[in-house]
Amino acid sequence: MYEQATIGMHKLDVETPALLLDMDAVERNIARMAAFFQDKECKLRPHVKTHKLPLIAAKQIEAGAIGVTCAKLGEAEVFLQSGIRNVLIANQVVSEKKIRRMLELSELGDLIVCIDSYENAQHISNISQNMNRKMNVLIEVNVGINRCGLAPGVSTLDFVRDTSKLQNLNFRGLMGYEGGMFTNDPDEKATKCSQCNTLLVETSELVRKGGFPVEIVSAGGSNTYYLTGEYPGITDVQVGSYVTMDSHNKSFGLDFEQAVTVLTTVISRPEKTRAIIDAGKKSISCDEGMSAFARPGLTLHTLNEEHGHVRIDNPDTDLSVGDKLEIIPSHGCTTIPIYDNYILIRNNHVESIEPIQSRHAI
């Protein structure tokens, strides 16, 4: 395989398509989010499903995060093995093989998993007993996103009562998620966020009154960090996208620096008002709409598998075959795992090439 980049090379000399990660911007984003939470009772439990890189997680921990959040068991494995010692799997793990693997990994640190069905809870407890271990669990509560989770209130309390009889589970608390609430109306966002957090916190209080200690009440995301992080009773927030950013989050008011971009090359300019680049659907995700160029006056309007179609506003624009352009992904979480490696950039030059370690996690 050809050499895509070498240490010290200018970023515009990197072979394309390539995933660039500006480490100066990453570190500023980490510092800014950490500063917001520095004097808060609520703490950071960053979600690593976005960046998928232990190097970044270590920087987040160093800046004050209490641990990390993962979407999959395979991600948890990567980050535990890298030295991160507090890991929440914000999802359900249900197959016997994965449960056994999860329990083996729990020896490496404080590993927590979510549950929302008695069958799954009993399965985990039985396997834990056979392996002479206990598994830390959070009960997932559906606060309105209608994904996984139990109904808030009495349903959750009843579930805690039932699962408390399973001797090999260690109940740690509750988790909800309102972070997927995207609206440009700040009052509407604040109202909806408060409604979701109220359901979660009131449920945690009900569980406490039922005689069960609730250590963790985890919620939130980058989109709502400044609301959920201030809400009394929430113990930690699962921010993810802020560290790399994308145009989707930017359009809904998340004001952090763009750190991840896709570098592409102009391979054809068949007309003055259009050009073709070497990045298509296999290089940029489009589940949150079309991505944008960092350079103004250019619009990415159509993607084929290996071609991107560019509209040029000014026909006199100086844009030639061989020129390099940076694309701001519309959705970083789904663009990043397309690539095997990040090209880490500092001061516009290649600092290192880092494998995206949890890219293939299952």
**Mean pLDDT value across the chain:** 97
33 and 164 in a single domain? The answer is yes
Residue pLDDT, tens place only, 246-304: 999 999 999 999 999 999 999 999 999 999 999 999 999 999 999 999 999 999 999 99
Task: Give the pLDDT mean for 157-164.
Answer: 98
Angle at 286 between CA 11 and CA 140, to 5 degrees: 105
139 and 267 in a single domain? The answer is no
141 and 15 in a single domain? The answer is no
Residue 265 tokens, joined: 């090359």
Q: How many domains does the chain have?
A: 2
188 and 270 in a single domain? The answer is no
CA–CA distance, 123 with 195 (Å, rounded to integer): 33
Angle between helices 154-163 and 186-209 (to 10 degrees): 40
Are 115 and 137 spatial neighbours (Cβ–Cβ below 8 Å)? yes
Instruction: pLDDT band for 179, please (50, 70, 90 cuts).
Output: confident
Instruction: pLDDT band for 311, please (50, 70, 90 cuts).
Output: very high
Asked, for residue 360, whether it belongs to a domain, the answer is no
Instruction: pLDDT band for 174, please (50, 70, 90 cuts).
Output: very high
pLDDT at 133: 97
CA–CA distance, 125 with 136 (Å, rounded to integer): 10
179 or 333, higher pLDDT: 333
CATH number reported for the structural domain that contains residue 285 in this entry: 2.40.37.20
Strand 86-89 to 298-303 pairing: unpaired
234 and 120 in a single domain? The answer is yes
Residue 97 pLDDT > 70 = yes
Are 228 and 176 spatial neighbours (Cβ–Cβ below 8 Å)? no
Residue 180 pLDDT > 90 = no
57 and 176 in a single domain? The answer is yes
Strand 298-303 to 308-312 pairing: antiparallel
CA–CA distance, 289 with 329 (Å, rounded to integer): 9
Nearest to 72 by CA among 346, 352, 333, 341: 333
Residue 82: give the domain boundaries. 24-241
Asked, for residue 75, whether it belongs to a domain, the answer is yes
CATH number reported for the structural domain that contains residue 164 in this entry: 3.20.20.10
146 and 234 in a single domain? The answer is yes
Instruction: pLDDT band for 164, please (50, 70, 90 cuts).
Output: very high
158 and 293 in a single domain? The answer is no
Residue 22 pLDDT > 60 = yes
pLDDT at 72: 97
Q: What percent of the chain has pLDDT over 70?
A: 99
235 and 259 in a single domain? The answer is no
Asked, for residue 146, whether it belongs to a domain, the answer is yes
Asked, for residue 246, whether it belongs to a domain, the answer is no
Angle at 199 between CA 332 and CA 172, to 5 degrees: 75
Residue pLDDT, tens place only, 259-274: 999 999 999 999 999 9
pLDDT at 61: 98
Single out the residue in 193, 219, 241 at which a domain terminates: 241
pLDDT at 89: 98
Helix (H) or strand (E) holding 161: helix 154-163
Asked, for residue 1, whether it belongs to a domain, the answer is no
Residue pLDDT, tens place only, 12-21: 999 999 999 9
